[in-house]
A and B are shown apart, each in its own frame.
Chain A
Amino acid sequence: MELSMNKNPQKPIVPEEDKAVSPWLEAWRSFRKNKLAIIGTSIVLFFIIMAIFAPLIAPSGINDQALDKRLLSPSSEHWFGTDDFGRDIFSRVIFGARISLWVGFLAVMGSLVVGSLLGILAGYYGKWVDTIISRVFDIMLAFPSILLAIAIVAVLGPSLRNALIAIAVINIPNFGRLIRSRVLSVKQEEYIVAARAVGMKNSRILFRHVLPNSMAPIIVQGTLAIATAIIEAAALSFLGLGAEAPNPEWGKMLSDARPLLTQAPWTMFFPGIAIMLTVLGFNLMGDGLRDALDPRMKN
């Protein structure tokens, strides 16, 4: 039983178009054509670059107080004006991007990893494992998420780190249920049966076959969840349960600016715009990713 049976001994001429088109590459091609998605991605990239190079871009530090320059309206010197301590709002908004993006990203990573793991276990092993995990998710989802977050922060004590943990925790069931349903459907696919027939172990099937084929919705949900997490972080900070002074967290800046609304609306306007733009960017990007990655949307 020798395998060297070359039916056409001459080397075949490789046709020019014979390039591997991976599903990811194909998704990227369709993503690239989506204008809104590109706009969203640009906004996100803009904020990321701003966050990384904040010390270079910002004209002053986050807590450089100048009491003679309090509540100045936007001008060429202070683009976004100054707040009631005479701090440059433009600089604070730029540094705030660091906090918001960081919190959004970390919180989502945390809930994504934990949620995916639980979801995979529930979906793949089924039975009582599924029952327990799914019921815990149901219980968590029964609470309004922001209320649950407040409760968690209340227990842990208010700080940015604890707000991040709370946001991560409340998002776990969203990811868990998504992955679980995805795994349930992928598990039935014939290529998974084929993988078992070949003689693979469960762990290999899970991590090389089930998980990669469940990635697309996780990426989409992850992107959209960053947007939500940023809002939730801002909301917690606004309520005084997140970032502490003098951290220029956008939600905290809004909260500080609240009494000044009529007097100096720019103190509220610019952090608000920053939140809105970032969230819009992530949402547009997430929608674009969904269109590109969801095979059912393909025509």
Chain B
Amino acid sequence: MTEVLLEVEKLKKYFPITGGVLGKKTGDVKAVDDISFFVNKGETLGLVGESGCGKSTTGRMLMRLIEPTEGKVVFDGKELTSLSESDMRKIRKDVQMVFQDPFASLNPRHTVEKILEEPLIVHGIGNKQERRRKVREMLEVVGLSSYHAKRYPHQFSGGQRQRIGIARALMTKPKLIIADEPVSALDVSIQSQVLNLLEDLQNEFGLTYIFIAHDLGVVKHISDRVGVMYLGRLVEITTSSQLYEKPLHPYTQALLGAVPIPDPTVKVNREILTGDLPSPANPPKGCAFHTRCKACMEICQTDRPVLEEIEPGHYAACHLYKK
């Protein structure tokens, strides 16, 4: 029944660090370092992690907005990283993206109608009247009104703009939508509206989401499965319920411990992360998390743990669970 829509294999992105007059390469920032995962059709995969852990880079590499250094992305049976620029453009009809900042992701000089019509023009869908009709329908679908079509982005609120961003992603009826922190720039009261909209749309159109966020509450709300990233690596990936009930990786445990509890009288034994995120230009040897890990063992400082299936469907990269 479950069909894999997207499979990522050993994806890497190293950004070169150059220095000196001649721009000689002095090192690499390992933004994404060897991650593999898959996404089933119709599900939502959440990607969480601190800022700078490479989750947005991962999202953009899946669409080749950033070229991967190494690795494979197989979408719907096609290998994307080796496609030519023009073939890749055609794929983009099926993979769309929702961006974080609804104030920056809409061209300020275009009307909503123009913004939404453009994906159709680019992919040669419909004639002018059909396109215009679809734009108006889509505005209603995302909870705006068709009379908004002639307005400019600056005439909308943040939540409304994000709806426009979502509408743009939906115009070409994609199979996969990569949502890069789609609600983190919005007010909390608006966040849930947009999340509910995303869920409704998923049910209606059978969409698959990759949902990138740093807010665990948001991810829990929307995801079927969740992947946790740390310093460019995937440390744990499992179903949403398993992750929140029984986190395996010490980093995940610490992250969950950092979720605020809205009742000040509740006393919990929390693991609070100490120390700073190490530089991705010079990540710690072995397990990248060992510098901040409370359960650090000797092996963690030398060997990098691989992502392994600890329990059925529950993968973690940690030496604690080595059989």
Contact = CB atoms under 8 A, between A and B. Distances in A.
A20 B63 CA distance: 33
Contacts of B101: 190
B6 interface: no
A204 B86 CA distance: 14
A21 B152 contact: yes
B122 A191 contact: no
B206 interface: yes
Among B105, B165, B206, chain A packs the most CB atoms within 10 A around the CB of B105
Given A1-B206, A198-B92, A199-B123, A20 B99 contact: no
Contact of A190 (B104, B138, B173): B104
A3 B109 CA distance: 27
B89 A197 contact: no
Contacts of B152: 20-23
A199 B90 contact: yes
Contacts of A18: 147, 150-151
A135 to B, nearest CB: 15
B311 interface: no
Contacts of B165: 194
Contacts, number: 101
A213 B141 contact: no
A8 interface: yes
Interface string B139-169: 0110101110011101100000000010010
Given A1-B205, A209-B107, A197 B140 contact: no
A144 interface: no
A276 interface: no
A12 B101 CA distance: 29
Nearest to B173: A1
Interface residues of B, number: 45
B104 A199 contact: no
Given A21-B152, A23-B152, A190-B99, A5 B140 contact: yes
B104 A7 contact: no
A1 B174 CA distance: 11
Contacts of B109: 22-23, 212-213
Contacts of B140: 5-8
B35 interface: no
A198 B92 CA distance: 6
B108 interface: yes
A212 B110 CA distance: 10
A138 to B, nearest CB: 17
B307 interface: no
B111 interface: yes
Contact of A213 (B89, B107, B168, B173): B107
Interface in A172-217: 189-191, 193-201, 204, 208-209, 212-213
B96 interface: yes
Contacts of B137: 3-6
A167 B123 CA distance: 44
Given A21-B155, A23-B108, A194 B97 contact: yes
A191 B105 contact: yes
A14 interface: yes
B123 to A, nearest CB: 6
B144 to A, nearest CB: 10
Contacts of B143: 7
A197 B60 CA distance: 9
A197 B96 contact: yes
B98 to A, nearest CB: 9
A213 B119 CA distance: 19
Given A20-B151, A212-B109, A213-B107, A194 B168 contact: yes
Interface in B121-139: 122-123, 134, 137-138
A183 to B, nearest CB: 15
Interface in A8-62: 8, 12, 14, 18-23
Nearest to A9: B140
Contacts of A196: 65
B118 interface: yes
A3 B93 contact: no
A199 B204 contact: no
12 contacts: A1-B204, A5-B140, A8-B145, A14-B147, A18-B150, A18-B151, A190-B99, A197-B63, A197-B65, A199-B92, A199-B93, A212-B107
Given A3-B134, A21-B151, A189-B104, 11 more contacts: A1-B204, A5-B140, A20-B155, A23-B154, A193-B65, A198-B118, A204-B122, A209-B107, A212-B107, A212-B109, A213-B107
Interface of B: 60, 63, 65, 89-93, 96-97, 99-101, 104-109, 111, 118-119, 122-123, 134, 137-138, 140-141, 143, 145-147, 150-152, 154-155, 165, 168, 172-173, 204-206
Which 3 A-B pairs have CB atoms at the shortest separation, nearest pair first?
Answer: A199-B92, A190-B104, A190-B105
Interface of A: 1, 3-8, 12, 14, 18-23, 189-191, 193-201, 204, 208-209, 212-213
